[in-house]
Amino acid sequence: MNYRLILVLFLLSFSGVLCKASSDVTIIVRGSATIAETSDEFVCATIDWWPPQKCNYNQCPWGQASVLNLDLQHPFLANAIKAFKRLRIRVGGSLQDQVVYDVGNLGYPCKPFSKMAGGLFGFSKGCLSMERWDALNALFQKTGAIVTFGINALRGRQHLHSGIWAGPWNSTNARDFIKYTISKGYPVDSWEFGNELSGRGIGASVAAEQYGEDVISLKAILDDLYKNSSSRPLLVAPGGFFEQQWYAQLLDVSGSGVVNAMTHHIYNLGSGNDRNIVNKITDPQYLSRVADTFRTIQLTVKRHGPWSSAWVGEAGGAYNSGSRLVSNTFLNSLWYLDQLGMSSKYDTKVYCRQSLIGGNYGLLDTKTFVPNPDYYSALLWHQIMGKGVLSIDISGSPYLRAYAHCRKNKGGVALLLINLSKSTEFGVSVRNDINVDLDEVDTNKDSSFVHGLKRTVSWVGRKASDGAEKREEYHLTAKGGNHLSRTMLLNGKILELTEDGDIPALNPVLVPVNSPISVAPLSIAFVGFPKFEARACV
Ligand SMILES: *[C@@H]1O[C@H](CO)[C@@H](O)[C@H](O)[C@H]1NC(C)=O
Ligand SMILES: *[C@@H]1O[C@H](CO)[C@@H](O)[C@H](O)[C@H]1NC(C)=O
Ligand SMILES: CC(=O)N[C@H]1CO[C@H](CO)[C@@H](O)[C@@H]1O
């Protein structure tokens, strides 16, 4: 049977009447085919190199959260990573292009970063010892992390003037480091080349043509060093801000099969001390602006490098270490989950949150290692939203954001609903029509869509529901109704570590599938429809 499946949600404001078109929001989910697919490790978080002396706005929020000094033995850290089963961790950040690896006759002592006037970002070079690299890998292996490691792409180049760097990359130190990594059997999933050197660059920039030559060299090094290995790591680049011409040129110059993923960074909420961040996060038009970036990079990859794909390699919301008042609060989850939804619609395969720990935007608190609200939001997404992205049609209030995916590993459909509205609560009733064929709707006047709906109002699949069918709901709200609270509730219960320091189980409430859903003001709901028959999701 070749039917199409459509899930229809009517979203009503409380005062609204069912048929009053002005107050209704309707969502139609098309379950017949996916429009995009994420990777298995879509949710990703970063560990950065910033030392304790990194300060913004008279605050130094990095503490001991650097690759070089993070407490790798902290039980909360391991538990938080393990809870994902496979969390992708991207090691990288601004100082990555000043890192030297203490392997193969460095010729000088291996020291961490220190403040240095005139240094890139105000810091000296810093050194990663192999003891530290061993310890990091012990954590990664113990917790099942999938590692993306960003290597220094400035090595050997000359600073010409005003941030422009030229000359070929010197690969010697990186090659020795990768060789050491292989000799130890550390399974790095992907090697990323450089950080924010693309386009106009942030601290430094390199021309796309030169960069293209250099990723070809790196590819040759990987092919050589991994030739006896059963696995091949991915090569990803350039880890910068998306500029269409530069990205296209990198793909053109490097050529087929060289760059496996084009990484780019998102900081669309502005600077960490921006007073307007709360308004930006609750403004649907503002949130949607960055969709252009996702759309254009998807198109660029399709046209210039169909062998590649787009990843968000780093996204912190607000730049310069995040916002002290917002980035670690419930409100930030509205931005964060909306980003996960929006980016996956445009076929983004991986989305790395800046940061796992460190700065104001850590998923974990930098001092206590206790999860912030976004940690739980990330974990819920990871547990509920599958790889397949379904298209939806939505009409009505722009303050309701909605995303649909296949339900993770279980069949059925999962929705993410975000109400950006501060005041109005929605009633949501769910309708499902399994037998409406979209092509028919377009071409055949007899089987009108509305007619189809009326016929099958109480069905959840091909079989009529006896009323016992359940859906799963996960409602996320802020403690005490304070959206700037650092405590989040799941279905009315505070999310906090167990007495043993473990991540709590994230359980849904089960609700009869045909009853109305309500999404409280400024809140988030994941809704799973286990029995929902979507052809794309079996
Ligand atoms: C690259 O750097 C190494 C030291 O790490 C040096 O011995 C070598 O001469 C350099 N290669 C080039 C081409 O400059
Ligand atoms: C691969 O294996 C061959 C034969 O055992 C060996 O000679 C070569 O050095 C190895 N290459 C690397 C990069 O380890
Ligand atoms: C303030 C605001 O716009 N709130 C919205 C929350 O969602 C409902 C349903 O669309 C809207 O009617 C409200 O306007």
From the CA of 204, how far away is ligand 3's center (Å)? 44
228 vs 34: CA distance, rounded Å? 37
396: left (phi over 0), alpha (psi -120 to 50) or beta: left
Residues 337-349: pLDDT tens digits? Answer: 999 999 999 999 9
Q: Which of 41, 192, 314, 472 is catalytic?
A: 314
Residue 437, pLDDT above cutoff 60? no
Residue 108 per-residue DSSP state: S
Q: Which protein residue has the closest C-alpha to ligand 1 atom 12? A: 170
Q: Are 70 and 367 spatial neighbours (Cβ–Cβ below 8 Å)?
A: no
DSSP string, 280-331: HHT-HHHHHTTHHHHHHHHHHHHHH-TT--EEEEEE-SEESS--TTTTTSHH
Q: Are 8 and 413 spatial neighbours (Cβ–Cβ below 8 Å)?
A: no
341 vs 348: CA distance, rounded Å? 10
170 vs 168: CA distance, rounded Å? 6
Q: Which protein residue has the closest C-alpha to ligand 2 atom 10? A: 228
Please give the model's pTM, rounded to 2 decimal places: 0.91
Can 314 be counted among the known catalytic residues? Answer: yes
Taking the domains of the chain in order of start, what are their residue ranges?
Answer: 18-36+392-537, 38-386
> What pLDDT score was predicted for residue 513?
86
Q: Which residues line ligand 2 (CB under 6 A)?
A: 225, 227-228
Residue 27, pLDDT above cutoff 90? no
User: Mean pLDDT over all residues of the chain?
Assistant: 89
Q: How many CA atoms lie within 13 A of 377 on its CB side?
A: 35
Ligand sitting nearest the alpha carbon of 100: 1
Q: How wide is the angle at C-alpha 417 spanned by C-alphas 27 and 46, nearest 5°?
A: 135
431 vs 460: CA distance, rounded Å? 8
152 vs 150: CA distance, rounded Å? 7
Q: Averaged over 190-197, what is the pLDDT?
A: 98
* SS3 category, 162: coil
pLDDT-based confidence at residue 298 (cuts at 50, 70, 90): very high
Q: Are 354 and 315 spatial neighbours (Cβ–Cβ below 8 Å)?
A: yes
From the CA of 173, how far away is ligand 3's center (Å)? 56
* SS3 category, 433: strand
Residue at 292: amino acid letter: D
Residue to mutate, 285, 421, 422, ligand 3, most ligand atoms under 8 Å from C-beta:
421
Residue 433, pLDDT above cutoff 80? no
Which of 112, 108, 193 has its CA nearest to residue 149? Answer: 193
Residue at 520: amino acid letter: A
Q: Are 311 and 263 spatial neighbours (Cβ–Cβ below 8 Å)?
A: yes
Q: Quick one: tokens of 206?
A: 């390199």
Which of 44, 84, 40 has its CA nearest to residue 387? Answer: 40
Residue to mutate, 285, 399, 400, 419, ligand 3, most ligand atoms under 8 Å from C-beta:
399
450 vs 436: CA distance, rounded Å? 10
Residues 84-102: pLDDT tens digits? Answer: 999 999 999 999 999 999 9
> What pLDDT score was predicted for residue 440?
32
Q: Which protein residue has the closest C-alpha to ligand 3 atom 2? A: 421
In whole angstroms, how far apart are CA 520 and each of 19, 399, 417? 22, 12, 10
Q: Which of 41, 196, 472, 473 is catalytic?
A: 196
> What pLDDT score was predicted for residue 465?
55
Residues 240-261: pLDDT tens digits? Answer: 999 999 999 999 999 999 999 9
> What pLDDT score was predicted for residue 104?
73
Residues 358-404: pLDDT tens digits? Answer: 999 999 999 999 999 999 999 999 999 999 999 998 877 889 999 99
Q: Averaged over 505-527, what is the pLDDT?
A: 92
Can 196 be counted among the known catalytic residues? Answer: yes
Torsion angle, alpha carbons of 414, 267, 101, 129, to 10: -70
> What pLDDT score was predicted for residue 425?
56
CA 57 to chain centre: 26
> What pLDDT score was predicted for residue 424?
56
Q: Is the Cβ atom of 423 under 6 angstroms away from ligand 3?
A: yes
Superfamily of domain 18-36+392-537, CATH level 4: Golgi alpha-mannosidase II (2.60.40.1180)
Superfamily of domain 38-386, CATH level 4: Glycosidases (3.20.20.80)
Ligand sitting nearest the alpha carbon of 226: 2
213 vs 498: CA distance, rounded Å? 51
Q: Averaged over 12-35, what is the pLDDT?
A: 58
> What pLDDT score was predicted for residue 457?
28
Q: Averaged over 222-231, what is the pLDDT?
A: 96
Pairing of strands 205-206, 164-166: parallel
Residues 135-184: pLDDT tens digits? Answer: 999 999 999 999 999 999 999 999 999 999 999 999 999 999 999 999 99
Residues 445-497: pLDDT tens digits? Answer: 332 333 223 222 233 445 545 668 999 999 999 999 999 999 999 999 999 99
Q: Which residue has the higher pLDDT, 72 or 13?
A: 72
145 vs 41: CA distance, rounded Å? 10
Those residues whose C-beta lies under 8 Å from the C-beta of residue 211, and which sit 6 or more positions away, are 153, 193, 194, 197, 198, 237, 238, 250, 253
Q: Quick one: tokens of 40?
A: 């298995």
308 vs 235: CA distance, rounded Å? 10
Q: Which protein residue has the closest C-alpha to ligand 1 atom 7? A: 172
Task: Count Cβ atoms below 10 Å from residue 161 Cβ, excluding itself.
Answer: 7
- Largest Cα separation within the chain, whole Å, is 81
Q: How wide is the angle at C-alpha 322 spanned by C-alphas 267 and 330, nearest 5°?
A: 100
The enclosing H or E element of 527 equals strand 523-529
Q: Which protein residue has the closest C-alpha to ligand 3 atom 5? A: 421
Q: Is the Cβ atom of 16 under 6 angstroms away from ligand 3?
A: no
From the CA of 228, how far away is ligand 2's center (Å)? 6
279 vs 402: CA distance, rounded Å? 20
Q: How many CA atoms lie within 13 A of 156 on its CB side?
A: 13
In whole angstroms, how far apart are CA 480 and each of 485, 486, 489, 504? 8, 11, 9, 20
In whole angstroms, how far apart are CA 207 and each of 167, 235, 313, 526? 10, 19, 20, 43
DSSP string, 453-522: HHHTTTBSSSSBP-S--EEEEEEEEEGGG-TT-S-EEETTEE----TTSPPPP-PPEEEETTSPEEE-TT
